[in-house]
Amino acid sequence: MPVDVRIPTLGESVSEGVIARWIKQDGESVQGDEPLLELETDKASVEIPAERAGVLRILKREGETVKVGEVVGRIEDGPATRPAGVAAAAPPAAQPAAAGLPPSDEAPPSVAAVLSPAVRRLVEEHDLDPHAIPSSGRGGRLTKGDVLAHLESGAQRETGGQESGARSQEPPASGRTGQTAAPSVAPQPTPAATTEEEERVPMTYLRRRIADRLVQAQHTAAILTTFNEVDMSAVMELRARHKARFSEVHGVPLGFMSFFARACVGALRDIPIVNAQLDGTDIVYKKHVNVGIAVGTERGLVVPIVRHADQLSFAGIEKEIGRLAALARQNKLSIDDLSGGTFTISNGGVYGSLLSTPILTPPQSAILGMHKIEKRPVVVNDQVVVRPMMYLALSYDHRLIDGEQAVTFLVRVKERLEDPTRMMLEI
């Protein structure tokens, strides 16, 4: 009996995503729990597994936006219609004729019938024949890199990439009659202008959602930022003295982030409103501290969550940060890894930022911005001395948190960092 492939519930506040790629192809045999497709949401990329063994029939193409509960494929009984690993024909919704390309039975075996959205855009923009472009993707699929390499080599001039005036004097290629004469298509820039002066690529779904959420935060919250500076001498001295032994005992390096996380946990206990959230006209006080740690990746900024950071030791925080950061860079974070944060720490200092105003991560009410450590002259006991200093920035939702509370919170963080033994003693 056929089983529908549905988009499962994906966690807190996630209602839709984009099919990034089908791991298995139409007509291919699959096993139970074997990954079928990769879905990109506004939080992470997740793999959707098969519920049982059978033959996959694809109903939604790559690049389509799908909602939770929507049927995107079907697993049927019976043998596969082609060997595993060979490129499949497109499902009915993704027939290439809709993009002005010839039917799949006219394509040579080395060219996949399904083009990804990015590849299809490049092919249409430059009026290329995809069957004339060497493909290097799995199963003979055409990749974006194949098309860009083809453009850069100038081969498009031999495969239909000439200017429209030259095309109009030549007979159309087989299977492409009328494609270039569509009056609704605006004139495209010449390949030289595109390849030498600019490159236009669509935003990923994750990047679009990040943009939407940041704009939403600016429009819905009364964001204000307060600043302070911290003398990092004590933390740096303590870290230098114990980092070798710490790593030997706990198996992880002793970084700065665990000091800041513990300092924030203590300050959040002192000023609990900073860890609270607004829900309509209600204030929701959180009885736990889930700290989000902003991590930069090739796909964009993600904020995995160190859960119950208030119950973790320095070593526990360092281990969890290391685990989450590795998953983020490998694009293997789950929805649970990115959900439920109550407070966020962002370290722009690793990129050399001296000062910035971080933006809130809704529905959280505050975010701490760390910056680079820089030696500066400061006055200590009426003497001018050189100390390693860091600017701290706390952005907060002024609808919920008063200025006095925000400033006090930042002072408590500063006090703990300048005397880290207080964090060990939890005072």
Angle, nearest 10°, between helix axes 117-125 and 144-153?
20
Report the number of secondary-structure helices (H) and strands (E) in the chain: 10, 19
Amino acid in position 22: W
CATH of the domain at 343: 3.30.559.10
Note whether 228 and 119 are same-domain residues.
no
CATH of the domain at 122: 2.40.50.100
Q: How many domains does the chain have?
A: 2
pTM above 0.85, yes or no: no
Burial (CB count within 10 angstroms: exposed 0-12, middle 13-18, buried 19+), residue 229: middle
Residue-level pLDDT at 143: 74
Note whether 139 and 31 are same-domain residues.
yes
Nearest to 210 by CA among 319, 130, 296: 296
Domain end call among 137, 163, 197: 197
Note whether 271 and 419 are same-domain residues.
yes
DSSP-assigned letters across all residues of 330-357: TT---TGGGS--SEEEEEGGGGT-S---
Strand, coil or helix: 31:
coil
Note whether 271 and 160 are same-domain residues.
no
Residue-level pLDDT at 13: 61
Q: What is the pLDDT of residues 62-77, one digit of tens each?
A: 888 888 889 999 999 8
> In the 3-class helix/strand/coil scheme, how is 152-167 assigned residue by residue?
HHCHHHHCCCCCHHHH
Residue-level pLDDT at 79: 62
DSSP-assigned letters across all residues of 192-239: HHHHHH----PPPHHHHHHHHHHHHHHHHS-EEEEEEEEE-HHHHHHH
Domain interval for residue 177:
3-197
Residue-level pLDDT at 71: 92
| Cβ-contact 312, 291 below 8 angstroms | no
Note whether 28 and 173 are same-domain residues.
yes
Note whether 187 and 218 are same-domain residues.
no
Q: What is the pLDDT of residues 229-276, one digit of tens each?
A: 999 999 999 999 999 999 999 999 999 999 999 999 999 999 999 999
Provide the CB-side half-sphere exposure for 260 (13 A, CA).
27
Note whether 48 and 131 are same-domain residues.
yes
The number of angstroms, rounded, from the C-alpha of 207 to the middle of its chain's C-alpha atoms is 7
End-to-end CA distance of the chain: 63
Note whether 257 and 184 are same-domain residues.
no
345 Cβ neighbours under 8 A, 6+ residues apart: 257, 260, 261, 264, 291, 292, 293, 294, 367, 368, 370
DSSP 130: G
Active-site residues: which are they? 398, 402
Domain end call among 140, 162, 197: 197
DSSP 128: -
Residue-level pLDDT at 11: 62
Give the separation between CA 423 and CA 427, rounded to whole angstroms: 6
Note whether 35 and 149 are same-domain residues.
yes
Domain end call among 156, 180, 197: 197
234 Cβ neighbours under 8 A, 6+ residues apart: 417, 418, 419, 420
Note whether 157 and 214 are same-domain residues.
no
Nearest to 300 by CA among 329, 323, 340: 329
pLDDT along the chain (427 residues), means of 10: 85 75 90 88 79 91 87 81 44 40 39 58 75 71 73 52 41 41 40 64 75 84 96 96 94 93 96 96 95 83 91 94 88 83 94 93 93 95 96 97 97 96 82
Compute CA distances 377 → 196, 349, 389, 415, whole Å. Answer: 48, 19, 9, 19
Q: Which two tokens stand for residue 413?
A: 């963080």
Note whether 23 and 157 are same-domain residues.
yes
Torsion of CA 151, 153, 159, 161, to 10 degrees: 50
Note whether 270 and 394 are same-domain residues.
yes
